Structure 1
Amino acid sequence: MDAAQFRADFPEFADTTKYPDSTVNLWLSLGTKVLAPDRWCDYLDVGLELFIAHNITLAANNQLAEMVGGTAGQVKGPLTSKSVDKVSAGYDTGAVALEDGGFYNLTTYGIQFLQLARMVGSGGIQL
């Protein structure tokens, strides 16, 4: 597993200016330390990729917040309701959030990662 393979499997992260190799490699390095290969077996690469995708998505959100004058690293949950003039939007986040998923529920990649982690029996190691 390397940054090139990650980008091939997740082409939405192909932009190396938005998602630099150094960021991908940071999370890849951490992922290889926290995901036990003897538990993940054949699922290790996809687990690593979902772990990376989740974390770099959060990092990109922090960068975007900073660029528009917000605070990087501010904790926000999924949008549940928003109104502008006569238009409103709301999302049923409970329909897709995993129970006790915590911070992994902040991205679809995190939800997929945690679901897979629970299936391979290593959820307690990551949490």
Structure 2
Amino acid sequence: MSRVELAASGEVQEGRLHAVSAEGRSLLLTRVAGRACAVENRCPHFNLPMTRGRVEHGTIRCPWHGSRFDACTGENLDWVNSVAGLPLPAWSRALVAAGRKPAPLKTFNVTEADGKLYLEA
């Protein structure tokens, strides 16, 4: 198992996303109830970056199509419900989903030690 430094502990805050690169991947870090969590910076809907997404009550909302994911487990909680922040009526969600089924975000194991966050790979 290898350990890769991601960020200083103080750089990753509750309710905010912090983008980093590690092991050839773009990741997003945040905190939920003090716990540091990491997900891949790519929405599984169209593989678009989620850097401009919002963190709300332990979830990350995709800025493109509104999908919501648990920030620590990656679980999909709501699939494609808006376009550029404008709500979609229920009948049009399937059209915008473009045949893609709800999918989770890929998550990564993060540890915290000596004032730093590490990816455990």
- Bin for the TM-score computed over the shorter chain: under 0.3
TM-score (norm 2): 0.27
Point out which structure has higher relative CO (alpha carbons under 8 A, 6+ apart).
Answer: 2
Which structure carries more strand by proportion?
A: 2
Instruction: Give the TM-score taking structure 1 as reference length.
Output: 0.27
- Which is higher, the Rg of structure 1 or of structure 2? 1
